[in-house]
Amino acid sequence: MAGVFLRKNALTIFMSVELMLNAVNLAFVAFARMLNQVDGQVFVFFVMTVAAAEVAVGLAIIIDIFRSRRSVDVDDLSALRG
Amino acid sequence: MEAIIFSIVAAVAVVSGIGVVIQRRAMYSALLLVANFFCLAVLYILLGAYFIAAVQVAVYAGAVMVLMLFVIMLLDVGHPEPLERRFRPFKPLGIVAAVAFLTLAILVTLNSQTPARGGVPDLDNITAVATALYTRYLLPFEVTSVLLLAAILGAVVIAHKREVKGTSENGAGRVLLDPQRHLVHDRDGGRVPEKERAHDLHVR
């Protein structure tokens, strides 16, 4: 799950983030099952919503970056480096 | 039986998850991610979370991944080969799959006499989730809807092409008005093909 730090392609980083969110979701559902409560599943529902929103906004940002720089390599994005 | 399914699906999920990270090409990792999502949906079903499984397939494997693939194809980072040649070896496979699906669909449609609402297994889980969602978690639920609205607006605003920019890239001092042509021009790395340029001149 540490693919976020290793990859350079912004899209792959994004997919790794999705993967981590899914791992958390699985843990939530497993614990909800273990504790015999439904709250975990409700929380998974919220996590999914937030993930969907995050994907929409993030992909829009990636498209915008690609438009202005013609690359989605995060190493190119060093404009904020001190 | 359940244990067997669990071990197979969990193994596939782990392998595809590792594949997503290891794979060099964004397209392959996206497809592996789809496989991973489906495995997770099966795991949710095994855990008795039917509603979450359905949402997983619909939202993640459906909406999110379609969006992802769309962007990957739009940006298409560094593919030397054209798409058509790459997919040519899979053409017979695709035909076989299509025919198999069609026969299967026809057979299922013809042979299904039992009414669909016969045996819905264990609705308790879904009712429990819905009850919790609409009573105890009603406020977060509504806040979520506001969040989604904000996300929609944000995505549109960010991805929308800025029209007012002073000068355009080919130094003509005006922005190209046709979004289609602007996209082509953008993708080409700033170089406008000869035909386009002639067309531009003609337009101006």
* CA angle at B64 for the pair B61 and B67, rounded to the nearest 5°: 120
Instruction: Identify which has the larger pLDDT, B57 or B203.
Output: B57
B100-127 as b/e: b if 16+ CB within 10 A: eeeeeeeeeeeeeeeeeeeeeeeeebbe
Report the 10 Å Cβ neighbour count for B135: 9
pLDDT in tens, B121-150: 555 677 877 888 888 888 888 888 898 898
CA distance A60 to chain B (A): 5
Number of H helices, E strands in chain B: 10, 0
pLDDT in tens, A23-57: 888 888 888 888 877 888 888 888 888 888 888 88
Number of H helices, E strands in chain A: 3, 0
Residue reference for tokens 């198999």: B100
> Nearest CB to A15: which of B68, B74, B152?
B68
pLDDT bucket at B100, cuts 50 / 70 / 90: very high
pLDDT, residue A61, reads 84
Q: With beta carbons under 8 A apart, name residues in chain B contacting A74.
A: none
Q: Does A47 touch chain B (CB under 8 A)?
A: no
Q: What DSSP designation does B89 have?
A: G
